[in-house]
Amino acid sequence: MSASPKITLKPGREKSLQRRHPWVFSGAVERVTGSPDPGATVRVENADGHFLGWGAWSPSSQIRVRIWNWEEDESVDDEFFRKRLSAALQFRQAVLPDSQSNARRLVHGEADGLPGLIVDQYGEVLVLQCLSVGTDQWRDTLVGLLNELTECTAIYERSDAEVRKLEGLEPRRGLLSGTLPEPLQITEQGLTLEVDVEKGQKTGLYLDQRDNRERVRTLASGKRVLDAFCYTGGFTLAVLQGGAKSVTAIESSKPALALVEQHCRINGFEDRDITLVEADVFEHLRRLRDAVASFDLIILDPPKFAPTAKHAEKASRAYKDINLWAFRLLAPGGLLLTCSCSAGVGPELFRKVIGSAALDAGVEGRVIKVLGPAPDHAGALYFPEGEYLTGLLVRRT
C-alpha cells in the first residue's frame, strides 16, 4: 500500500472529508506524490499525513479526487465494487418493496458510494453511465458484476453526458453486453412505455418523477390537464389513467412527441380528448392565454435551467415566467404541480420564485405538498450537492 500514489491536502482542508463529503477540490490539494494516471486509486491524507480515504484521481477536473472509501485497510478492487453494487441493489429492494414498475435507478452515484456512476434498469436492460474518470476505469469490472448480480439480458452504455468533458473524457455510447429488445417496453402502474435507451434523453426515461406521476394520477379525475414539457408522456399517461377529462401536452422534441402518440395508442387512450402540441412552452403558454384557455391541473416539468448556482438568477427568471403563465391559465381551485431539476436552484429559492410568479399573476395559492424524487434517487445525508429535483403542488385558492 505504501507504493500507492498519495494526495496530501493543505492544512485544514480535510474538514469536509471528515464529514464524509466525498469530493476533494483542486484548491485543497497541497502535493501529489507519485504520478497517478487518470482514474487511478490514490491515498488521500491530511497535512499531517493522517489517512482520510481512498479515491479516484481526476487530474482534469476541479473535483480532483472522488472518494471511494474511508477505511484504510479496505482495497478498491473487484470485491469492493461487488459490495457497493450489492448494497445498492438491496437498498432498492428495501425502498421499492412492492414496486409497480420494472424501471428504476439501481445506482445513484455518490449517494450509493459510487461517485460518478449511474445505473438505470429498464426491465431486463441496464443502462450504465460512467460520468467520472474513476468509474470509466472500472467499467469492465462493473459490467461483469452487473451481469453477475442482476438478471439483466443487456447492458447499454450512455456515457454521453456533458459532464464527462470536465473529466477529460470523450462521450461514449453503445451496447456492452447482450442484445436490446426491439422495442424495449417497461411497465409503470399498469401503463406500458417504450424506452429509447440509445437516443432518448438521460438514460431513456425520467425515473426520478415516478412518485409525482403517481400523485397526479390520483388528482386527475374529471380534470382538464395541461402537461408542459411532457417528453414521452409520463405525466400525460398517468392523468389519462386517472380519468382526466382532457389533456394538452406540449413538447419541443419531435421524437418524444411521436412516442407520446404511440404510448396513447398502446395503452388504449386513442379515443380520449388529447391534444399534442409541438411547440416552445414559453411561447405556447402565451398563445393558450390569448385563446382564453383554462385548466384544472397544470404540470410544469421543465429541463434543467440552472446546472449550478452560477446560473440561478437567469434560471429563476425562466421558472418565474412559465409559472406566471401557468397561474394565469389555472382555474380557481385548480392545482399546479411545478418542478425544478436544477441543482443550482434549491427548494427555498424555488418556493420564492413560485410565490412571486403567483403574486404577479394576481392569484393566491396554498402549498399542498413539497415534492422530491422517488426513493431510488434518495440522496446521501453527507452530500447535499446530489439534490436537484424539487417541486411544489400548489392549489390556487
What residues are annotated to the active site? Answer: 341
Nearest partner of 115 among 102, 133, 100, judged by Cα: 133
**301 lines the binding site for ligand SAH (CB under 6 A):** yes
Place of cell 401557468: 326
Q: Which stretch binds ligand SAH (CB under 6 A): 56-64, 156-164, 276-284, 372-380?
A: 276-284
Of the candidate residues 252, 262, 267, 294, the single one contacting ligand SAH (CB under 6 A): 252
**253 lines the binding site for ligand SAH (CB under 6 A):** yes
**296 lines the binding site for ligand SAH (CB under 6 A):** no
Nearest partner of 55 among 70, 34, 71, 41, judged by Cα: 41
Separation CA 285–CA 325 (nearest Å): 6
Q: Which is nearer to ligand SAH, 117 or 250 (CB)?
A: 250
**147 lines the binding site for ligand SAH (CB under 6 A):** no
Site string for ligand SAH, 123-142 (x = CB under 6 A): --------------------
**206 lines the binding site for ligand SAH (CB under 6 A):** yes
Separation CA 233–CA 260 (nearest Å): 5
**231 lines the binding site for ligand SAH (CB under 6 A):** yes
**Left if phi > 0, otherwise alpha if psi is -120 to 50, otherwise beta: which for 303?**
beta
Q: Which stretch binds ligand SAH (CB under 6 A): 37-45, 227-235, 345-353, 375-383?
A: 227-235
Burial (CB < 10 A; 0-12, 13-18, 19+), residue 351, is: middle
**262 lines the binding site for ligand SAH (CB under 6 A):** no
**235 lines the binding site for ligand SAH (CB under 6 A):** yes
Min dist CB 201 to ligand SAH, Å, is 6
Q: Which is nearer to ligand SAH, 75 or 252 (CB)?
A: 252
Sign, Cα dihedral of 30, 34, 36, 42: negative
Q: Which is nearer to ligand SAH, 117 or 374 (CB)?
A: 374
Looking at this protein, which amino acid is placed at residue 161? A
The residues in 362-391 that bind ligand SAH, with binding defined as CB under 6 A, are none
Q: Which stretch binds ligand SAH (CB under 6 A): 41-49, 179-187, 278-286, 387-395?
A: 278-286
Of the candidate residues 239, 281, 285, 306, the single one contacting ligand SAH (CB under 6 A): 281
64 neighbors 43 (Cβ within 8 angstroms):
no
Nearest partner of 352 among 322, 329, 320, 307, judged by Cα: 320
**80 lines the binding site for ligand SAH (CB under 6 A):** no
Number of DSSP helices (H) and strands (E) in the chain, helices first: 10, 20
At CB < 8 A and 24+ separation, what contacts does 175-183 make? 176/128, 176/139, 176/143, 177/143, 177/147, 178/125, 178/152, 178/153, 178/154, 179/153, 179/154, 180/125, 180/154, 180/156, 181/123, 181/124, 181/125, 181/153, 181/154
Of the candidate residues 37, 78, 280, 313, the single one contacting ligand SAH (CB under 6 A): 280
DSSP state of 8: E
**282 lines the binding site for ligand SAH (CB under 6 A):** yes
Q: Which is nearer to ligand SAH, 70 or 282 (CB)?
A: 282
Min dist CB 228 to ligand SAH, Å, is 7
Question: Total residues at the site for ligand SAH (CB under 6 A)?
Answer: 20
294 neighbors 300 (Cβ within 8 angstroms):
no
Min dist CB 209 to ligand SAH, Å, is 4
Min dist CB 250 to ligand SAH, Å, is 6
DSSP state of 4: S
Q: Which three cell numbers stand for residue 29?
A: 490539494
**120 lines the binding site for ligand SAH (CB under 6 A):** no
**189 lines the binding site for ligand SAH (CB under 6 A):** no
**68 lines the binding site for ligand SAH (CB under 6 A):** no
Separation CA 376–CA 65 (nearest Å): 25
Looking at this protein, which amino acid is placed at residue 389? L
Of the candidate residues 34, 222, 268, 303, the single one contacting ligand SAH (CB under 6 A): 303
Min dist CB 369 to ligand SAH, Å, is 17
Query: φ, ψ for residue 204 (rounded to 5)?
Result: 140, -45
Applying CB under 6 A, the residues found at the interface with ligand SAH are: 201, 206, 209, 229-232, 234-235, 250-253, 256, 280-282, 301-303
